[in-house]
Amino acid sequence: MDDEHAAARLRTALVNRLRAGGSVRTEAVAQALLSVPRELFTPGSTSLTRSYEDRVVVLYTDESGMADSTVSQPAMVALMLEQLDVRPGARILEIGTGSGYNTALLAHLAGPDGEVVSIEMSPELAGSAARRLAGIGVHPDVRTGDGWAGVADRAPFDRIEATVGVPDLPPAWVEQLAPDGVLVTPLWLRPGLELAVAWRRAAGGTLTSVSVTPCGFLQLRGPHAGPGRTHALTGELAVMGDELPAAALDVLRELLDRGAVDAGPVLGEVESRVTGFALAEPRTVLFLGHPGDETTWGLFDPERPALAVLARGRVVVYGDLDAATELYYGVAGAPYVDADRLRVEAVPAGTAFGDAPFSDGRSWTVERAQFRYRLTEM
Ligand SMILES: C[S@@+](CC[C@H](N)C(=O)[O-])C[C@H]1O[C@@H](n2cnc3c(N)ncnc32)[C@H](O)[C@@H]1O
């Protein structure tokens, strides 16, 4: 009983913090968070207090120790539920059941007349999530399978929420969305730029974002995962990039072995311009995890071959020296882009956008196998 009171107090405190931080905006989402005991969905968590910190909890790791499943950070969970805009009675599909925590929140938002279907790749996770949910009296339809294909036999859905990231929209999610439905999904666009996008269908079938929020999610697994985005290079160094097949990674390792030339200081503040640079430049890479180093941005061209990186206020180059100039002027000339203020539209790959970008702001196009994306500054 004491634990229950303590948990209720911690839940209230968490919701108050999320309201103050702007991730909880509506009473409906606040009430959902206040009613679901997160501690029952965070088995790896060491204490009750830990379950109510605004932090990710790792649920399951693969053989190499990388997280395969996590209970997402409460602020992110709340932001995406606000984006999803669930109405009582809604038919909802969730992709990536994980612990079942978000499934419980969705069930609360949809209410007794709603329906929640949730699909999870791992049978163990799906099973334990279903048991936890039943333990609090929630009985969604939890399926085991590849969420890339959606759940066709329960479609259409008023709301679809993916809690796992994709570099391209799976066509089934779009097909299984009701005509006036909302689809919320983390969309990886470039290294360091992943957006949780709330999509609605606009005239002519184009998908248009009604809101976006920067995020960082585990990548969808399975045969349709697409190329991995984070690659181990050496013991502690990993790189993220858009197109880095094994042969390109070999070239990158060779370049790093050759050693670097210091090409001089970076003048002015560059961090705020990197998103603008990355949007226009598919060769952008982001290095992670060098001990003691900050994250390092760069430009990698396996054809030349060359790698130029921004490291501690300097441009450092491996291979063809011209890459340093290209990176320096590319970043210096890039616009400042506020990721929160991007509008995203999608049309099937190979088709054109019906009209010009909706504002006279800057726009960028990102091509993927299934869809073509246009990002425009609001
Ligand atoms: C960030 S976790 C989801 C968090 C979850 N919503 C919660 O509240 O605990 C992402 C989940 O997606 C699952 N997943 C990854 N690829 C999948 C796929 N192709 N189909 C279904 N689930 C997948 C992972 O196993 C993992 O449990």
**Residue to mutate (ligand 1; options 68, 77, 119, 164; most atoms within 8 A of CB):** 164
C-beta separation of 132 from 40 below 8 A: yes
- What's the CA gap between 154 and 160, in Å, rounded? 12
**Active-site position among 23, 51, 69, 72:** 72
pLDDT at residue 16 in the model: 98
The tally of CA atoms less than 13 A away on the side-chain side of residue 41 is 27
Q: Return the ligand 1 atom nearest residue 218 CA.
A: 1
pLDDT classification of 113: cutoffs 50, 70, 90: very high
C-beta separation of 298 from 284 below 8 A: yes
C-beta separation of 323 from 331 below 8 A: no
Q: What is the CA radius of gyration of the chain?
A: 22
Q: Return the ligand 1 atom nearest residue 96 CA.
A: 12
C-beta separation of 216 from 194 below 8 A: yes
Identify whether 47 is a catalytic site residue. no
β-pair partners for 91: 115
- What's the CA gap between 271 and 281, in Å, rounded? 15
Q: Is the pLDDT of residue 292 over 60?
A: no
Greatest alpha-carbon pair distance for the chain in Å reads: 68
* Ligand 1 site, residue 161, Cβ cutoff 6 A: no
Q: Is the pLDDT of residue 1 over 60?
A: no
CA of 145 to the centre of ligand 1 (A): 11
Provide the 3-class DSSP secondary structure of residue 279.
helix
As a whole number, mean pLDDT of residues 177-197 equals: 95
pLDDT classification of 27: cutoffs 50, 70, 90: very high
Four-residue CA torsion sign, 336, 339, 345, 346: positive
Query: Residue with the nearest Cα to atom 26 of ligand 1?
Result: 69
Q: Is the pLDDT of residue 2 over 80?
A: no
Residue type, 340: D
Q: What is the pLDDT of residues 324-340, one digit of tens each?
A: 999 988 988 888 888 88
As a whole number, mean pLDDT of residues 191-212 equals: 92
Q: What is the pLDDT of residues 50-105, one digit of tens each?
A: 999 999 988 877 776 666 788 899 999 999 999 999 999 999 999 999 999 999 99
* Ligand 1 site, residue 168, Cβ cutoff 6 A: no
Q: Measured in Å, how far apart are the chain's first and last C-alpha atoms?
A: 50
User: Which of 122-136, 153-167, 242-256 has the weakest average pLDDT?
Assistant: 242-256
**Residue to mutate (ligand 1; options 76, 102, 218, 224; most atoms within 8 A of CB):** 218
- Find, among 265, 271, 282, the residue nearest to 316 by Cα: 265
- Find, among 147, 125, 150, the residue nearest to 223 by Cα: 147
CA distances from 8 to 11, 39, 295, 302, 321 (A): 5, 11, 38, 55, 60
As a whole number, mean pLDDT of residues 145-171 equals: 97
Q: What is the pLDDT of residues 340-377, one digit of tens each?
A: 889 999 999 999 887 766 666 688 999 999 999 999 98
Length reported for the chain: 378
Of all residues in the chain, what percent carry a pLDDT higher than 70?
A: 95
